[in-house]
Structure 1
């Protein structure tokens, strides 16, 4: 069947081999499922037709069986009527014979209908098995399609992520970040150096201030001037 040949190709090659080909495996599987569903509809229609023929053959078996019994009964009634003088014996024999001929014809048709029914019933069993196989294959490939779609999504997401990572590296962003880090470290070291220089200048001023008490010297000088103005001598009174 067309759909089985198409899908078995995919099955034999495996899905990952189909991915490497020019034809999209998802679209191939979707088309295969559509083909199977079309064939399923046709198989169901054919199955219904064969079942109808089987039912018709069954009805013919009953119909020709009833006709055979009816002709047999009519032959008996004709002969009984002849016994009672209701009909000439020669005519009774002729009619009874014709009835029995019809009976045999009905039996022949009945056997033919029975053979047809047996053949149709066998065909029905085969077609029902085929329909069941198609349904199972449709269910199988629909599940495969779901898995395949999920795998494609994961593969696409992984590919895009890896592509972005590769793009970042190719653009030298990582190298740029490393250079920026080196620049920051250099600036931090330079700031620390200036801090040490500023600290060294301040410590020298502090040492000078500690060596000479400017405020105290000024206070002593002012005191001497004030004593001179007041006429206070530098010698102590006894």
Structure 2
């Protein structure tokens, strides 16, 4: 029973992973690019095999054509031996005919190979076109992936900023700024009070100096009167 539960959990985990990837365009694009690159690699291998087959078939055609020409040359040589009495006409004709038949068979084989070569060349062209399409798609998808990643970074940055703005009222930074503001206001109030105290003291000192100066003058006048100086 426990085994089945574990298998179920594993299956659920795999499903969740697939769903998460399906919901993530970046993961989907990356996977798509990897799939196309794998397909491109397989297609290139198929192209190499098909191209090699074409080259091999074309070389075989050349070899068979050379062999066919050689049999025709031998037929001529055999018939010439009749002129020199080296072979009887019957023997020469028989051997020449066999050589010409071999030539004919080789040429028939060449035609059959040529038909196959045409098919293989068409296949090579088709594979090559598919390679170019895959390259083009991979390039476009890689550009799309770059764009998606850039957009994702912008969206993430925007979401982070929005979150910060949404939480700004309850943020400790704001409380700290408020405390700093209150502290500055308190310091300003203290400075103003100190300035007022200093100003009051200065005013008192001036008044006292003026008062002392006035009393001295009065006393001086009275003394002069007593002495008859006025």
What's the TM-score, normalizing by structure 1?
A: 0.66
1:9 equivalent in structure 2 = none
1:115 equivalent in structure 2 = 115
* Alignment root-mean-square deviation, CA: 3.8
Distance 1:44 1:174 in 2: 62
- Higher-RCO chain (CA-CA 8 Å, sequence separation at least 6): 2
2:162 equivalent in structure 1 = 162
Distance 1:42 1:117 in 2: 22
Distance 1:64 1:46 in 2: 27
Q: Please identify runs of 4+ aligned residues in structure 1 that moved more than 2 A.
A: 169-189, 213-221
2:67 equivalent in structure 1 = 67
Structure 1 gap segments, 5+ residues each: 1-20, 204-209, 224-233
Aligned with 1:168: secondary structure?
coil
Distance 1:70 1:192 in 2: 123
- In the TM superposition, what is the alpha-carbon distance from 1:34 to its structure 2 partner? 1.6
- Greater displacement, 170-179 / 83-92: 170-179
Distance 1:179 1:85, change over 3 A: same
Distance 1:134 1:141 in 2: 10
Distance 1:50 1:216, change over 3 A: same
Tell me if 1:77 matches 2:81: no
Tell me if 1:130 matches 2:130: yes
2:95 equivalent in structure 1 = 95
Q: Within 5 A, what are the aligned runs for 1:32-43?
A: 32-43=32-43
- Greater C-alpha radius of gyration: 1
Distance 2:43 2:187 in 1: 82
Q: Within 5 A, what are the aligned runs for 1:1-238?
A: 22-23=20-21, 24-171=24-171
Distance 2:141 2:55 in 1: 35
- In the TM superposition, what is the alpha-carbon distance from 1:115 to its structure 2 partner? 0.9
Aligned with 1:22: secondary structure?
helix
What's the TM-score, normalizing by structure 2?
A: 0.68
Structure 2 gap segments, 5+ residues each: 1-18, 204-209
Distance 1:78 1:39 in 2: 58
- In the TM superposition, what is the alpha-carbon distance from 1:25 to its structure 2 partner? 2.0
Aligned with 2:87: secondary structure?
coil
- In the TM superposition, what is the alpha-carbon distance from 1:173 to its structure 2 partner? 6.9
Distance 1:64 1:187, change over 3 A: closer
